Structure 1
Amino acid sequence: MLFHSILGLRPVEHAIAAAFQADGHTVTLPDLFAGKSADNYDDAFALRKSVGTKAIMERAQVAVKAAPPEAVLSGVSFGASLTGEFWTDRPQMAGAILFAGIAEWMLPPTPALPISVHIARPDPFDDEEYFADWVAQKGEANLDMHRYDGAGHYFLDSSLDDYNEGAAKLCLDRSRAFLKGL
């Protein structure tokens, strides 16, 4: 399960899914904004507001319910935060991958749950203390935190100024290895 960013379901999420599918994984890409997307963050926040939290959460819930209990939850930025809405209710999930954002921890964090996180450093939306506090709350979760110096927030998306080719390749390589190891 790969939840898209605040920008909506765009070619970059399809490319991430295709990389995982090339390794034999089945990937679900829920379209939480019903076909709408934005080209910049200001328009994206307005789009999210116009779609509405209720509709977004209903679409996400339908997608998660349809996924096998052991499915890996994944998301980009806003989509990463959505994983936190569901992982508490999925004790059999095999792991999580969070790109360009984090999620509220389940309480308590599931012991040994493999979680791979990929965040720019610095990230323009959250300061370093925010990430340090989050890591400190991981409990016994098996957290693998990757930071990408000098990359933009959504460094995987080549259509954005955030894009960093080297960071994007390394992130995808690490994510594919993470999935292979589950």
Structure 2
Amino acid sequence: MAEILLLHHALGLTEGMHDFAGKLREAGHTVHLPDLFEGCVFDTVEDGLAYAQSVGFEAIIERGVRAASALPQEIVYAGFSLGVLAAQKLAQTREDTRGALFFYSCVPTSMFGSPWPVDLPVQIHGMDADPYFVGEGDIEAAREIVASAKHAELFLYPGDQHYFADSSLSSYDAEATALLLKRVLAFLAK
């Protein structure tokens, strides 16, 4: 079973994030779900991003890095949207990482000053018409990683929702999430 550091999106530590972590725990995995927003939860992406901007994106990333500092290095780093920033930084720069899971987001590897580790397994999930994932270029960063790694997969789901796997939000897509979860559990089983 895998040990996972799961980092939340810009709405904060929602019930849907707890639900997703619970599904991974039900499958036997150990999941760490830190609160990068220190108790703040938001109703809109804009409000969550405004909070992150007021704190500083680098500070939010460092909160994720600090959360990892007490954990073993041989874990899987997973992030949802904004949480991908810290998860990707950790996966790219920490030795002995077991794998990475990125949901709705991905950034160019150059952001963290090194290429993607060729042998590091990664899955990246997003919707094919998501205005953030596709419209803001994250999909190109995802394709760059997939092209450079031996064990990388990019999964696109039909739809235009950003937070489609958060069961507490109106953007939730049960069918896409069921498939995503099946793929994630297969990835973690390896």
- TM, length-normalised to structure 2: 0.86
Q: CA deviation at 1:81?
A: 2.3
Q: Which residue of 1 aligns with 2:130?
A: 123
SS at match of 2:127: strand
Task: Note if contact 1:82-1:103 (Cα within 8 Å) is conserved in structure 2.
Answer: no
Q: CA deviation at 1:108?
A: 2.4
Task: Note if contact 1:152-1:161 (Cα within 8 Å) is conserved in structure 2.
Answer: no
Q: Which residue of 2 aligns with 1:142?
A: 151
User: Which of 166, 177, 180 is the aligned partner of 1:157?
Assistant: 166
Q: Number of aligned pairs?
A: 181
> Which structure 1 residue ranges, 4+ long, deviate > 6 Å from structure 2?
none
User: Which of 154, 159, 166 is the aligned partner of 2:175?
Assistant: 166
Distance 1:129 1:139, change over 3 A: farther
The CA RMSD over aligned residues, in Å, is 2.0
Q: CA deviation at 1:84?
A: 2.3
1:100 aligns with 2:107: no
Identity %: 35
Distance 1:31 1:95, change over 3 A: same
**Whole-Å Cα distance in 2 between the matches of residues 29 and 180 of structure 1?**
20
Distance 1:54 1:121, change over 3 A: closer
- TM, length-normalised to structure 1: 0.89
Query: Where does 1:1-182 land on structure 2 (aligned, <5 Å)?
Result: 1-53=5-57, 55-105=59-109, 107-127=114-134, 130=137, 131-132=139-140, 134-137=142-145, 138-181=147-190
Task: Note if contact 1:75-1:98 (Cα within 8 Å) is conserved in structure 2.
Answer: yes
Q: Could you report, residue by residue, the CA deviation over 1:80-117 in whole angstroms, capped at 9, with x for unpaired residues?
A: 12222222321211100111111332622212211011
Q: CA deviation at 1:39?
A: 1.3
SS at match of 1:24: coil
SS at match of 1:172: helix
- Give structure 2 stretches of 5+ with no counterpart: none
Tell which deviates more after alignment, 158-167 or 144-153: 158-167
- Give structure 1 stretches of 5+ with no counterpart: none
**Whole-Å Cα distance in 2 between the matches of residues 109 and 19 of structure 1?**
28
**Whole-Å Cα distance in 2 between the matches of residues 159 and 11 of structure 1?**
6
